[in-house]
Amino acid sequence: MKKEHVTLTNDDRTYLQNLIKKGQLPARTYQRALALLELDRGRTFTEVASIVGVTQQAASTWATKYKESGLECLTDKPRPGRPATIDGLARAKITALACSDAPQGYDRWTLRLLADSLVSLEVIDAISYVAVGEVLKKMKLSPGK
């Protein structure tokens, strides 16, 4: 006899089935929804883990989270992190400055020269040359090219 690990409500079951049929959702959400449906059908954690392609512990954790918080278990909670200090406008100005001609007396832009110019032009209060390099790297640019 198989132990039933999760009992979905009719509304939750219908929602999960419709969610899986969409086809356009993150892989983690799909895995969790499929696992919950399979657990509702009476499958064991081991069977669900092999069907979904996760560990047995992950299937067990999703079942526990469903019992605690319902369908909120489908999505991850926001993770803590430092907010971005350089906004989109400042990034655009950094890129524009790097693409412009170097100042008089210089052959090309350097990261330090860009950082100093950005502060003197009051584009940003303070910025390191490393941060300038990271912005340009994300834009697939390098100074002087």
Identify the CA nearest to 74 among candidates 121, 14, 27, 128. Answer: 27
Q: Cα 95 from chain centroid?
A: 24
Q: For 69-127, what is each residue's pLDDT tens digit?
A: 999 999 888 888 888 788 899 999 999 999 999 999 999 999 999 999 999 999 999 99
Identify the CA nearest to 124 among candidates 99, 82, 83, 89. Answer: 89
Other Cβ atoms within 10 Å of 123 Cβ, number = 17
Q: For 12-28, what is each residue's pLDDT tens digit?
A: 999 999 999 887 888 99
Helix 27-40 with 56-69: angle, nearest 10 deg:
80
In the block, residue with structure tokens 């032009």: 121
pTM of the model: 0.57
